[in-house]
Structure 1
Amino acid sequence: MTTPKTTLVLATRNKGKTREIMEILKGYPVIIKNLDDFGPIPEVEEDGETFDDNAYKKASITARMLGFPALADDSGLVVNALNGAPGVYSARYGGEDLDDAGRCDLILKELEGKEDRSAAFECVISLAVPTGAALTYEGRVEGVITETKAGDNGFGYDPVFYYEPFGKTFAQSTSEEKNQVSHRGKALSEMAAEFDKVLIWIGQQLRNTPGQGGQCLSGE
């Protein structure tokens, strides 16, 4: 008899982020989808003051709209010399016209001449069910901002984030290396370590919600 799998929607269209999460949850009884699997869906405005605010808002609204448990993360780069910027604005720092490379260039320019180049990636993951109940996981990794971009792997600020134990940037690291130590990897690993309990929690939440229980389980 095939063990039923739980459908889990990632509240993102980011292919790099989706790939990382799928790799970390590989082997668990889940069918992972992201927003691209559901056609046009209104984007959730990330207007929270903290990573926690944004992660919960994205997860809870997505779960309510689609009727499936939804996982969302909000993460970003926190640079000490920039008073914590870009922080929650990491994905749109410098304006919507900048791409990942442009945002990396902007950070390097803003840190010109500064001695303190310490930084951290922070992540908050929220896993919500359609009723709004949610579980929260957090992760953080310390590093240093380089003076030039290096590496072609990863995404976002990976080319300027130097991780001292590796002796290279995240963009010079393999996905396997990065997932072991990254902010998102740590938060997801925390969730994965108790994923059996997470699945039980999801099932209980759905069974206690009239009209929702059958939507999230599949025999695929």
Structure 2
Amino acid sequence: MSTEAPEPERIQLRGDGRRAQLLTVAATVALAAFAFTAGFPALWWAGTRLGLNPVHAATIPIVIDLGLVTFALVSAILRSRHRRATAETWSMIALTGLSVAVQVTHALTIDPAAWLPAAVGASLPLVVLFSSHSALRAVLADAPRRSLARKTRAAESAATVTKPATVRPVAALADAAAPRKPATVKQPVEPTMSLAEAVAEVRAGRLSVRGASAASGESRYAIGQARDQAA
């Protein structure tokens, strides 16, 4: 009888699960907080170099790093909605470059040959930027494309709106059901007098040329010719 040790239970994280998102946000927030704490002295030093008192100089790191995170948040939200974020992106880049410059200047002011500490200090604003931006992109859901959303709304409206049936009035239905009268066909009129009689009536003045033509069935030209020959 073989006895096998049970396999240890594995912790499984779904990429789109809430637990994975919470862990990602917690790790990136902690990373950004540590980077902010490490870069705080250099930015505070820059505030004192501006002539601010120590209390007011302490707001410089908050303004720069918090502004960096804010612009990263707005940029990520706009991009998730498939909109441009040019101004926010450039503002984020400007704050990051300013913070990097302050970190490098502070390190080289303490020791002009300390290029390695200057490089470490320059990486701190980049860590704040990329950690906050990555956390936001992991949490935010992409909005549907405008064309797809427009087609979806059009399909839904077409499915919900039905064309009303055309109601014909009762009089129109009655006229359609009534039998149609046969078309009347004109019967040819038979002549009531001959050509000679028609000419005699014209010469006597009792009929006009037109009336004689209608009564005899002859043309007015023929009646006129016969009248002139009889004269």
- TM-score normalised by the chain length of structure 1: 0.19
Q: Which protein has the bigger strand share?
A: 1
Between 1 and 2, higher relative CO (CA 8 Å, sep ≥ 6) is seen in 1
Q: Which protein has the bigger helix share?
A: 2
